[in-house]
Amino acid sequence: MNNIEHPVNAPSDLQSAFKDAILTLKEQLIPYHESKSISWDHIRIELWEDTGRFIIFPASTKPEYRIDLAVYEIKCSYIEQEVVLLDKSNLSDDDYDTKILNLINEMAQVANKAFSTSALPFQIFDQDGQPQSN
């Protein structure tokens, strides 16, 4: 099974992309992982703000290393463009860090809203592997 990519242009398109991600997880990705004897106990959602990506896959808290045979990836060009603009700005390091953290928090809120009604246990992480609040 290949990774599934779902490009979107604007944040307003993210909720429908997440609905598709949840359906694809339930119908394809989770059964695929289980067919390969890969156990999972939650859905991991990684936020990669520099590329505007939400990387979503079944995961387990038990192994210390990541096992993902296939992922669902939502890529939002608007988020990526926002980071590029911040990178080109003349903001101080503190202001830049604050803006990036705000962007990560906004991404986490979108993911949290989508998955909170999915009946799937989930955890959200930033691209450095740091947990974000659910």
Each of the 134 residues of the chain gets a pLDDT tens digit; together they read: 789 999 999 999 999 999 999 999 999 999 999 999 888 999 999 999 999 999 999 998 886 667 778 899 999 999 999 999 999 999 999 999 999 999 999 999 999 999 999 999 999 999 998 998 77
pLDDT at residue 65 in the model = 65
Residue 46 lies in a domain: yes
Q: Which of 2, 72, 6, 65 is nearest to 38 (CA)?
A: 65
Residue 132 lies in a domain: no
Measured distance CA(74)–CA(2) in Å, rounded:
14
- Quote the distance between the C-alpha of residue 47 and its chain's center: 4
Domain count, the chain: 1
- Token pair for residue 103? 């962007």
Residue 134 lies in a domain: no
Q: How far is CA 81 from CA 8, 47, 84, 105, 131, in A?
A: 12, 15, 5, 17, 24
pTM of the full structure: 0.93
Residue 133 lies in a domain: no
Structural domain boundaries, residue 19? 4-127
